[in-house]
Structure 1
Amino acid sequence: MTVHSAGREALDTEHRRRFLESGYLVLPGLLPEALRERLVPEVDRWVDEGLRARSIAACVDPDRHGPPPVLELELPAHGELLAHPPLLRALTGLIGPSFVFHHLHSDRQAPGIPGKPWHHDCEPHDGSDPSLVMVHALHYLGGLDEKVGSLAVLPGSHRTAAGKNAYSHHGTTELPGEVVIDRLPPGTTVLLNSALFHTRRPAPEGPGRPRYFIDASYCQAGARWRPVKPHWRQMLARARELDLADGQWPELFAEHHFTEYTGTV
């Protein structure tokens, strides 16, 4: 495995250059143990109490199900993670100081779960500047190893305009030029340009241990981005009520960075 990595120190211009060029950056151990120990039981609750299923249903059929009873960011450690200072400092170093939270997903992926085909996760915006960046922060609470599976990325693929599923016909198979990330310590965060193609692969030796996984996305200010959750206004309003930005990031949960919700895509 060869990865572009940076520790918990401040990112420099070389990290930014590599991120802009390759489309990803690995931050080993970005999440401290104390935060991970609080996040894991929250993920368990999210999955075991059916809250994740309710959240998905609220997006798939909002007219029938309405908003979810609990938002992920209302779980205390999840809310703290969204504005974790080292994470926001890293984002500032890569895309500048003005960005907005887009959405949050949390899961405990069971051992043996099938892989996810090649895809990207970038949403469009209504601006005229194609250089504006959306970033996904992939948090691996328990790390990655041969018992969990791997993440493969296709460096540079974010620089070519393509639909989210343009490479999905390849499944999870190896593609020329890919980088496989299969050894990460617990609490590592991988920052992806959201337009970068990537795939999740299962453990090569069969069922191992669960993959505790949280991803949060952030969009560079300068245009209005398309939301992916029908209850996006409620989500941002609740984040402001809880003061998750701690008064330091005025744009982090601002509604004016988004278009109207137009349905699932």
Structure 2
Amino acid sequence: MLETFQDQGYAVFPEFLEKAEIDTLKAAVDEHAAAQPQRHAYENEQIGALVWHPRVGELVDELMGGPYVFHHIHAARHDAGKNGVSWHQDYEQYPQTNRSHLMVHVFFYLNGLNGTIGDLLLVPGSHRYATDSRALTFLGTSDLPGSITVDDVPPGSVLIVHSAMWHARRPKPGGEDSPRWFIDASYGRSGVKWPSYRAPGMLANLRERHVAAGGTRPWLFDETQFFDGARARATMGSLEGSVMLDLPQWQNS
């Protein structure tokens, strides 16, 4: 797993979740998808608890090789006719300049991928290059040089991808009788401050629930390892010219 991940930027774990877990999470995703008004996925009890799933933690521990923090979790049900998602990468950094600290996304395909509704597209090795998250969005879901299509994994499978890898979801026909239940969770290596997620209070809420459930990883939810992501996004949009010239160490040199 480690060799494949370091070289290609992803690793596949077929049938990672057990049937009882799959059924519980499907019901949780349905509940989340039907909620009005829409809530954050972490607020659902079963989805939130997936953040500290013991076997997921073992995999992320190995990949990180040291301390890390949780960043966010999403959940969605993709029904027949669902739109695709254009090429993008999800590494959290403002501006995008380096890949010094590992960030990963854990993709949970509760009923697998079977060539209907949407295929997962990846560009192995693309995680090595710092690029704006939406730089290739204009290409839609067309094949890219070296890209691969993941369209055949069994229910309960997990894919772990480097968050900086270019990926997309290509819409496909079919799936009227079997929607796709999908969850993704993200973690970042400690040592730098990460942009905070768009859900104030999320980390404190999850830490309290984790400890109440007997969890031993409250460090996953350490607010001191984040900075104000909303402010960073707004600031980046207002800057002009080379950002390097605004850095104190450059101005004082």
Say if 1:118 and 1:165, in contact at 8 Å, map to a contact too. Answer: yes
Give the 3 Å change call, closer, same or farther, for CA 110–257 of structure 1 in structure 2.
Answer: same
Which residue is equivalent to 2:31?
45
Task: Give the deviation of 1:97 after TM superposition.
Answer: 3.7
Query: In structure 2, what residue type is equivalent to 1:201?
Result: R
Larger radius of gyration: 2
Check if 1:31 corresponds to 2:21: no
Task: Give the deviation of 1:208 after TM superposition.
Answer: 6.0
Q: Comparing both structures, which one devotes a greater share of its residues to strand? A: 2
Q: Comparing both structures, which one devotes a greater share of its residues to helix? A: 2
Give the 3 Å change call, closer, same or farther, for CA 129–109 of structure 1 in structure 2.
Answer: closer
| Distance in 2 between residues matched to 1:195 and 1:176, nearest whole Å | 17
Per the normalisation by structure 1, the TM-score is 0.80
Alignment of 1:115-126 (within 5 A): 115-124=84-93
| Distance in 1 between residues matched to 2:199 and 2:50, nearest whole Å | 22
How many residue pairs align between the two structures?
231
Alignment of 1:94-109 (within 5 A): 94-109=63-78
Deviations 1:149-172 (A, max 9, x none): 210100011111111111111100
Which residue is equivalent to 1:237?
204
Per the normalisation by structure 2, the TM-score is 0.84
Query: In structure 1, what residue type is equivalent to 2:64?
Result: I
1:259 to 227, 232, 240: 227
Task: Give the deviation of 1:48 after TM superposition.
Answer: 1.2
Query: In structure 2, what residue type is equivalent to 1:164?
Result: S
Identical columns (%): 37
Alignment of 1:159-170 (within 5 A): 159-170=128-139
Which residue is equivalent to 2:247?
none
Say if 1:148 and 1:208, in contact at 8 Å, map to a contact too. Answer: no
Give the 3 Å change call, closer, same or farther, for CA 260–143 of structure 1 in structure 2.
Answer: same
Alignment of 1:21-170 (within 5 A): 21-51=7-37, 54-55=38-39, 71-124=40-93, 130-170=99-139
Say if 1:230 and 1:261, in contact at 8 Å, map to a contact too. Answer: no
Say if 1:98 and 1:220, in contact at 8 Å, map to a contact too. Answer: yes
Task: Give the deviation of 1:207 after TM superposition.
Answer: 5.3
Q: Which secondary structure does the structure 1 equivalent of 2:168 belong to?
A: strand
Give the 3 Å change call, closer, same or farther, for CA 259–203 of structure 1 in structure 2.
Answer: same
Task: Give the deviation of 1:75 after TM superposition.
Answer: 2.2
Deviations 1:14-38 (A, max 9, x none): x212101111111111111111111
Which residue is equivalent to 1:20?
6
Say if 2:73 and 2:184, in contact at 8 Å, map to a contact too. Answer: yes
